[in-house]
Amino acid sequence: MRAGLDKRRFGPWALVTGASSGIGKEFARQIAAEGINVVLVARRESLLSDFGRGLSQNLDVKCRVIAMDLSQEGFIDALAENTNDLDIGLVVSNAGTGNPGEFLKLDRRLLEATLRLNTMAHLDIAHHFGRRLAERRRGGLILVGAMGAEIGVPFMANDGGGKAYVHSLSEALHYEFKPQGVYVTVLPAPPTNTPVMTKFGFDPQTMPMKPMGVEQCVAEALNALGENRSRIIPGRMNRIMNALVPAFVKRTITAKLLGKALANKLAPADA
């Protein structure tokens, strides 16, 4: 169970990036269920619009849809222009992607665009909205990373490096923003049952550990924000594994899992 969000601190509006699917979509749903209006940001406008209409009808909240690509330089100016009229008390910076593969075989331009989305987008959002939250002397910021990113992730070297930046940025901002009344929490998301699993070539039914449900992942993150915890790894077993398993073991296990998933994706389909 999750304690309710403090609407005075975190409302009346929240902004969620990467809100068209997966973890971002679930953040928007759970926040809206608390009676907080939501700004939905992602590239796919049709998905956002359909989702936003459903939230408004079912949960009696207002939704604003902003379709944009956060990997493009200068996006923050347009995002600011489209939200300056709203009193935003909660920001979930979740937009990001991964492109698993052997580092030297991945396109250099793809690596750069991915790194920009996975790092600069979080920087721009934290800087712009962090200032707004500090001015109102209350609010919250959640940045979404990935469990194990700091140890180096074979076959996701660039993606893991970007997420490690997010973790470090968030931990530092948690300290800096506390005197301003702004709560900051980083979510190093564990393997979670979202469409990303299929993109990476994983079969949740055959993985050594069953991926976490997205509802629990998001609920624990919102609980941690409410308690102003700097970091939350959802799931008791995930926390135990993260604390006790040596980095080189985790790196080896991850390499084997990703290597097998990539091989399955590249294997020719049966005739």
Residue range 114-126, pLDDT digits in tens: 999 999 999 999 9
pLDDT at 270 over 50: no
Round to whole Å and give the CA distance between 123 and 121.
Answer: 5
pTM of the prediction?
Answer: 0.92
3-state helix, strand, coil in the chain (%, to 5): 55, 15, 30
DSSP assignment of 138-159, as one string?
Answer: -EEEEEEEETTGGG--TT-HHH
Burial of 85 (0-12, 13-18, 19+ CB in 10 A): exposed
- The neighbouring-strand residues paired with 204 are none
Q: What pLDDT does residue 267 have? A: 57
| DSSP letter assigned to residue 267 | S
- What was the pLDDT predicted at 96? 87
Close Cβ partners of 217 (under 8 Å, ≥ 6 residues apart): 23, 26, 187, 189, 190, 192, 234, 235
Question: Across all residues in the chain, what is the average pLDDT?
Answer: 92
Q: Quick one: pLDDT band at residue 196, thresholds 50, 70, 90?
A: confident
Contact 96, 144 (CB under 8 A): yes
173: its two tokens: 């901002």
Percent of the chain with pLDDT over 90: 79
Mean pLDDT of 162-166: 96
182's tokens: 């702004």
pLDDT, residue 271, reads 36
Domains of the chain: 7-266 (3.40.50.720)
211 pLDDT band, cuts 50/70/90, is confident
Cβ neighbours around 150 below 10 Å, total: 17
| Segment among 169-178, 228-237, 244-253 with least mean pLDDT | 244-253
At residue 179, does pLDDT exceed 90?
yes
DSSP label of 192: B
